[in-house]
Amino acid sequence: MAWCVTDLTCTYCGASYPGVNLKTAEATWMVCPHCGPGDGILEIGYDLGRVRAAWNTKPLASRPLNHWRYAELLPLEPAAIRHDWPVGWTPVLDAARLARHLGIQQLLLKDEGRNPTASFKDRASSVGVAHALQVDAKTIACASTGNAASSLAGHAALVGLPAYIFVPATAPEPKIAQLQVFGATVFAVKASYDAAYDLCTRACHEFGWYNRNCAINPVLVEGKKTAGLEVAEQSADFGGVPDWIAVSVGDGCTIAGIWKGLQQMHDLGVIDRLPRLLAVQAEHVNPIEYALTHDALPKESDGKTIADSIDVHVPRNWRKAVHAIRDADGVVVTASDEAILDAMRLAGRHGMFAEPAAAAALAGVVSAIESKTIGPHDRVLVMITGSGLKDTKNAIRAGGQPIAIEPTVGAVANAIQGSRRGAEAQRS
């Protein structure tokens, strides 16, 4: 396995830092020293010629079906690659019945809920923990709306690395439960995610912890990138690269990571075209939509959404997200809470149990079809970024309550009649 990292580039001032050694770099060396943590988010560069040579020697087809198969496109040394933590290579379901229902050519659902802790974030956390071990960190920390936290806690638990996690006190209970069982030290911050993020960053500086926050740590985005690498490879089984990839957007790192992966696979010749991106935000939490037209974040953002994973008012990686959306000839749409609950039901009725932020991406597709942004001949892939089990309260809101009955056949018959009458009343 070849080391193919070339440099780090500042996404703001463009300065390149070829001398930074990610093999041993301290976590504090994670932002551009000129621009600082506010603007100076770094991007990792690769020598794709070396990657291509390595893939010719050991073809992808011969490698394990998990995200470590892309080792040359990760800033990790061979010893840090952990095939015993299988993450990724999540299934792509061809939801033909749902495509017909929506009136489009093809609808693919990439089920990221199948990852070890049931969300997309395992891609980043596994790479983050592997890198923390590589640089000999003794403690790892992150702030999260919930999924990144539970996934970090899980991967830290795998290797016995102490983890300090900052979540907003309002995070859904199933996510908190995961954290607690994995044995992380959890701080439920009595404030928003944005405040929890700032607190975590300050604590990392104060106590010298490895900072797993994707927005600031460029290593983590490389983990997220593997979803784009995978989609490129898997699309061969589904009639080629989709016309659209729909993904919900909070901090902006996920969409930026996916796009980087797709671009690298395009540059490497694995795919011959690129999809467009459909970026989906919550109706009242849509700073990326604002940033796309204003080149800055909104001064005020205080709306609410049930989709906790994208309830981010100050997206730290907004520039990377905006660059990705522009490069991809992408479109931003928003989804109301009602549309998200509808999409949870719609996905569920077609066999996919999605958490609100994951269903938001599908809600965005529905709205893009209505506005004719997505046409009847389009092929669309939706990133289902987290399992519905991550937020059972909103799942019940979407799915409704079961019918309570006495344990008799008569009660069953009455209940069936009652539910038929209810359905008829709803239709008329």
Residues that bind Zn ion (CB under 5 A): 10, 12-13, 15, 32, 34-35, 40
> Closest approach of Cβ 128 to Zn ion, in Å?
22
Q: Please, which residue, 42 or 93, has the CB nearer to Zn ion?
A: 42
Q: Please, which residue, 14 or 160, has the CB nearer to Zn ion?
A: 14
Distance from C-alpha of 235 to C-alpha of 229, rounded to nearest angstrom: 10
Strand duo 5-10 + 42-46: pairing:
antiparallel
> Closest approach of Cβ 9 to Zn ion, in Å?
9
Q: Please, which residue, 10 or 80, has the CB nearer to Zn ion?
A: 10
Q: Please, which residue, 9 or 145, has the CB nearer to Zn ion?
A: 9
> Closest approach of Cβ 319 to Zn ion, in Å?
11
> Closest approach of Cβ 15 to Zn ion, in Å?
5
Q: Please, which residue, 28 or 180, has the CB nearer to Zn ion?
A: 28
> Closest approach of Cβ 225 to Zn ion, in Å?
21
Cα dihedral value 285, 287, 290, 291, nearest 10: -170
Q: Please, which residue, 40 or 364, has the CB nearer to Zn ion?
A: 40
> Closest approach of Cβ 4 to Zn ion, in Å?
23
> Closest approach of Cβ 36 to Zn ion, in Å?
8
Handedness of CA 253, 115, 122, 353 (dihedral sign): positive
Biggest alpha carbon distance in the chain? Answer: 77
Q: Please, which residue, 317 or 394, has the CB nearer to Zn ion?
A: 317
> Closest approach of Cβ 22 to Zn ion, in Å?
17
> Closest approach of Cβ 153 to Zn ion, in Å?
32
Q: Per residue, what are the HEC states of the chain? A: CCCCEEEEEECCCCCEECCCCCCCCCCCCCECCCCHHHHCEEEEEECHHHHHHHHHHCCHHHCCCCHHHHHHHCCCCHHHCCCCCCCCCCCEEECHHHHHHHCCCEEEEEEHHHCCCCECCHHHHHHHHHHHHHCCCCCEEEECCCHHHHHHHHHHHHHCCCEEEEEECCCCHHHHHHHHHHCCEEEEECCCHHHHHHHHHHHHHHHCCEECCCCCCHHHHHHHHHHHHHHHHHHHHHCCCCCEEEEECCCCHHHHHHHHHHHHHHHCCCCCCCCEEEEEEECCECHHHHHHHHCCCCCCCCCCCCCHHHCCCCCCCHHHHHHHHHHCCCEEEEECHHHHHHHHHHHHHCCCCECHHHHHHHHHHHHHHHCCCCCCCCEEEEEECEEHHHCHHHHHHHHCCCCCCCCCHHHHHHHHHHHHHHHHHHHC
Q: Please, which residue, 10 or 324, has the CB nearer to Zn ion?
A: 10
> Closest approach of Cβ 313 to Zn ion, in Å?
24
Distance from C-alpha of 2 to C-alpha of 17, rounded to nearest angstrom: 20
> Closest approach of Cβ 222 to Zn ion, in Å?
19
- Report phi then psi at 144, rounded to 5: -160, 155
Question: Among residues 37, 3, 319, 43, which one has the least CA distance to residue 197?
Answer: 37
End-to-end CA distance of the chain: 64
Q: Please, which residue, 10 or 265, has the CB nearer to Zn ion?
A: 10
